Structure 1
Amino acid sequence: MFGYLASMRTTPGHRDRVIALLTGGVDGLRALGCTLYLVGASATDDDVIWVTEVWESREHHEASLSRPEVRAAIAEARPMLTGDVTSAEFTVAGGLGI
């Protein structure tokens, strides 16, 4: 299993809109090989979003990024982001719900 963790900073006042874009198309993710997709708002910073993803494989994750609806959401969110993004890939070892 392939895991991906990211944080992103939005421009002030845009966090909720970006969260809506990130969570708007989650219904079809399971069919694409996603087993966990979690979007969270930072409890300590009003402009930070955390995203945790678990996929059957890296290839499943990469394929999801080429879907038109995903590309459209990314394009819409991009102007509301500062560019301050961190990310990490990991191999899933286990856990509750996995």
Structure 2
Amino acid sequence: MTFVNVGTLGTQPGQREAVVAILTRANPQLAQAGCLLYEVGTSEESPDTVFVTELWTSAEAHQESLQLPSVREAIAEAMPLLNGQMSGFQYQISGSPLRD
């Protein structure tokens, strides 16, 4: 079953676009690790928040991806730009009316 990780990252004032730039850099290792979708977004209603939606082949693939050097480097680069306010949730996809 497909695993979903959805989260929000609070950023330091004025640092939202810098965090978006870090998170949207091309990273072919993610697909190799089992990432099916990695989308980063923003909302003008939340000017200091970055929204991330990830679909993975499994929860294990997601967990293992956190050990990739490229992912660890991105996390280290983004951390000083964050304000510590993070939230989110995870779940397994049960099905979709868009697929067989």
Distance 1:40 1:5 in 2: 11
What's the % identity of the aligned pairs?
A: 41
2:13 aligns to what SS in structure 1? coil
Residue 70 of structure 1 corresponds to 71
Mapped contact 2:11–2:48 kept (Cα < 8 A): yes
Q: Distance in 1 between matches of 2:44 and 2:93?
A: 25
Deviations 1:7-43 (A, max 9, x none): 0110011111101111114333222111111100123
Normalising by the residue count of structure 1, what TM-score does the alignment of the two structures yield?
A: 0.90
Q: Which amino acid aligns with 2:70?
A: E
In the other structure, the counterpart of 2:27 is 26
Unaligned runs of 5+ in 2: none
Q: Which ranges in structure 1 are unaligned for 5 or more consecutive residues?
A: none
How many residue pairs get matched? Answer: 97
User: How does 1:4-43 map onto structure 2 within 5 Å?
Assistant: 4-43=5-44
Q: Which residue of 2 is the match for residue 55 of structure 1?
A: 56
Given that 1:54 and 1:92 are in contact with CA atoms closer than 8 Å, whether structure 2 keeps it comes out as no
Larger CA Rg, structure 1 vs 2: 2
Q: In structure 2, what residue type is equivalent to 1:60?
A: A
| Alpha-carbon distance between aligned partners in 1 of 2:49 and 2:8, rounded to the nearest angstrom | 7
Distance in structure 1 (CA, Å) of the matches to 2:28 and 2:40? 14
Q: What value does the CA root-mean-square deviation take over the aligned residues?
A: 1.5
